Structure 1
Amino acid sequence: MRTISSERLIMRPWDVDDADFLFDLESRWETVRFLGPQAKPMTGRSEAVESIIRRRTIDDPVHGLWAISSRESGELFGNILLKPIPFSIDVEGEAPVEIGWHLHPDAQGAGYATEAASAVMTDAANNGLRFVIAVTDPLNAASPRVCERLGMRSLGVTEAYYDEHNLLFEKTLSR
């Protein structure tokens, strides 16, 4: 998986050495509560190691799951993904590509999600992706604001993904 950089950030493949951070990030209910109906906090470091191993199997010129880190210090801030999103059970068609993110509480509010997502979308456009969506929980106030800052267009409420009501955003990408 490739590395993507921006002014302040590096989006890089997860490494097993990141397991303590990932466990800290995803053992918090406030971090995982908006990650879909099946989301639950990690209960052991071994879950983080297993998750990192799965993330590292993605070998795609566009899609990925990256660790977000400081360009200056290497400090980890969170996770960003770009991957096909499966439709809910009763929806058919080609799965669109979803962009999503979640940050450690200590890293929220500094513009990292917007900066990381912008860099990942630019990279994806340069690699041929033309369209991306974001799906956010209606109770998640922060992610729709990130979508707006990214220039994504709100399409309202949808049940097409994750078998639940979500807010849907879309963006056409250009090189």
Structure 2
Amino acid sequence: MDPDQLPALETDRLRLRAPTAEDVDFIAALYARPEVVRFLGDGRTERTREQALARIERYRSFAGEATGVWLASCAVDGGPRGIMLLKPIPLSAGADSGTEQEIEIGWHLHPEAQGRGYAAEAAEALIEHARDRGLEQLLAVAHPENRASHRVAERIGMTHRGTTDRYYDTTVELFTLEL
């Protein structure tokens, strides 16, 4: 799917849309913050515009009928708050792929936007989008120490399934939501 055709989603306080190259400064600032990336991948920050542009292009590549990555911005002032993800989850090396592609829901919020309910609010919009597109289940994974993400997953009705090493070649806490 053309990323520019990714549907815009709205909540009471947020507008979600596909990120574009015009968002490079926000993306660069977001992923340059150690408190944002400490539980993501190898925890390394990305500090250049080139890295931010590459991330935007990678995010745009996830645009599909039911999947995508959205930039969440404030409905009132338009200021960006974070990134919301609904994408295929990468399996760890050697993990059995099963019969269906597993779809992950996730959130990366700017520290100034954390603790205000934005992640859960935007996630509810993604859940509705996923339901409307016929998905049957969503997964969320979080670093075992990322208690804030655990709380968001539980707040949106996900069930904690314990730890697993099935995804991202690391041990994560797994949450599921039947749609």
TM-score range, shorter chain: over 0.9
Q: Is the 8 A contact 2:164 2:174 kept in 1?
A: yes
TM alignment of 1:62-101, pairs within 5 A? 62-92=66-96, 93=98, 94-101=100-107
State the 1:39 CA deviation.
4.2
State the 1:71 CA deviation.
1.1
Q: Pick one of 5, 15, 19 that aligns with 1:14.
A: 19
Mark the runs of 5 or more structure 2 residues left unpaired by the alignment. Answer: 1-5
Query: TM-score if structure 2 supplies the norm length?
Result: 0.92
TM alignment of 1:1-175, pairs within 5 A? 1-36=6-41, 38-92=42-96, 93=98, 94-173=100-179
SS across alignment from 1:95: coil
Query: Percent of aligned pairs with the same residue?
Result: 43
1:169 aligned partner, one-letter code:
F
State the 1:157 CA deviation.
0.7
Mark the runs of 5 or more structure 1 residues left unpaired by the alignment. Answer: none
Q: Is the 8 A contact 2:14 2:72 kept in 1?
A: yes
Which shifted more, 90-99 or 140-149? 90-99
Aligned length: 172
Partner Cα distance (2:54, 2:170) in 1? 27
Q: Is the 8 A contact 1:86 1:95 kept in 2?
A: no
Q: Is the 8 A contact 1:155 1:170 kept in 2?
A: yes
Query: TM-score if structure 1 supplies the norm length?
Result: 0.94
Partner Cα distance (1:160, 1:53) in 2? 26
Alignment RMSD: 1.2
